[in-house]
Structure 1
Amino acid sequence: MFAGVLFALAAGLMWGLIFVGPEIVPDYPGALQSAGRYVAFGLIALPLAWFDRRRLRQLSKADWAEATRLTLIGNLLYYWCLASAIQRTGAPVSTMIIGTLPVVISVSANLLYGREEGRLAWRSLAPALLLIAAGLVCVNAAELRNAPSFDGWRYCTGIALAVVAVACWTWYPLRNARWLRANPDKKPATWATAQGIVTLPLALIAWLLVTIMLGSQQPDFVLPFGPRPELFLSLMLVIGLLCSWLGTRCWNEACQRLPTVIVGPLIVFEILAGLAYSFMLRQSWPPLLTLCGIGCLLTGVIVAMRIKPQPKIGAINN
């Protein structure tokens, strides 16, 4: 349990970088950032796949198909929606919506998989979820005080994209955790590398389509790497390595050690890291309301981790 939490913490610290990436290069479309990140992820996975080729050969066609589905929805679609939402609504509003993930994932996991993996009693889980929800409200209320103005259409499309991102990243960690727990003989690092391998051709196709679209719709945009290629390529490599491969590996390690209903609240580490990095980028300290929200978030996670799952249905029957 303790090792699983540490791995989830490490993943969250790395995943938090995705919230500041769109703010560092705001002149780059979200679709181009998504394709660039996962091209970098795929290129990083290639040498790793060579060293891990024996274990990769043990994956079945069904496993590769599952890796492809996870990549399309949890990687490419999720990051495109998130980056685009941040650019349309600003980081505070998008963070408010993405910040509901710990609650949404916990409730979804308890509803879908509680019977098989041991259900957390709603009466016991409710205080933790309320603490997390209160923390998210405090953090985002503080952020929205200084939210920039927005036009109606751009704001509404940003909200819609953020909601789709929540749906993608509710589905991805639950599905990914289920596969890992159903295949305890498979190494989490191998599974992360497999997702990187299937990501590369998909990301290259996405990059080609995005550049064609930009060439026709934004002829002034410098192709193929935009107006600041050194910064953009460096950022994509860092995010591809830390957020995509290493972060995914740490998350996979956590998923094999923790019940699915416990994994959900640990997504909060990503939100906390994203907030910390955002304030570092702004070179300012968080206000008191934000600090109160962070305290609620951490307390909620601790409370959730102390809950003991009820026995599995099958175990009771036996």
Structure 2
Amino acid sequence: MSELRARIAGVGSYLPDRILSNDELSNMVDTSDSWIRERTGIRQRHIAADDETTCDLAEIASRRAIEQAGLTPDDIDLIIVGTTTPDFTFPSTATLLQARLGVSGGAAFDVQAVCSGFIYGLTIADNFIARGQAQNVLVVGAETMSRILDWTDRSTCVLFGDGAGAMVLQAQEPGGDAATEPGILATYLRSDGRFKDLLHVDGGPSSTGTVGHLRMLGNQVFRHAVTNIAESMSTIATRTGIKIADIDWFVPHQANQRILEGVARRLSIPTHKVISTVADHGNTSAASVPLAFDRAVQDGRIKPGDLVLMEALGGGFTWGAVLARV
């Protein structure tokens, strides 16, 4: 019996109302609009309201994705939330979301892979569907990164923003040509804990008893990001026999415009094929890939039948890629 295919049935996203511009940020820390734009490509980011939690953002994005899929919350039998900024140490944000949506069955859990959380979540969902253990899976990337930033550290606070993106994967029976049918074609995950000190949060329940703040050695992260992301994308292409040049759209983790351009140059990807939202959203960690994907669907760039390669790298390090035909 052939494995079931995980088809992208719907996407949705949400950004908080408050926009923090570079100019406004320059009144809070020693920086400027030109300094930030030159080094990151970012011009603004969205910041959650004081009473707005990660689950709040996730709920709105999820409802939009479920509606676009033509489903109701009752149809969802698995929820996976990629986040590094959960509402609580426990229970998981996914179970909170399950209750908010009114999903009475199935299972729900969080994935902690930082900026790669959504890519990890898609991979897990794909495996659940392939084994016949889930029919409609809601995969969410949601973050309130503003809660763990040191707003006196200009090397990190200028980079990040808040937001959520969601995608519904639906099981479908395999048909004729697997390469031309909608669905996830291949996934690839990796991690390397030796590089923890390059990108981490300096707190935690069992170490300091505090939430801590995000710390990063930017130049070293940049080098690893370009190398590892390009490697994951090349591996996916090799495994599927699909040339990088034949892929319609690349939806990368929106960490830094320079990283996006560095990967594109290394793989000879035309810039018009790279979906970039980093200027408007900043780095929204696990939310960045689904946010960018949804924008490209909404503005008509990503269309049914297109080949889309999604990728990310996060603290830990974690990294990976997912190739899907829409």
Q: How would you bin the TM-score normalised by the shorter chain?
A: under 0.3
Q: Which is richer in helix?
A: 1
Q: Which has the higher contact order (CA 8 A, sep 6+)?
A: 1
Q: Which is richer in strand?
A: 2
Compute the TM-score of the two structures, normalised by the length of structure 2: 0.26
Larger radius of gyration: 1
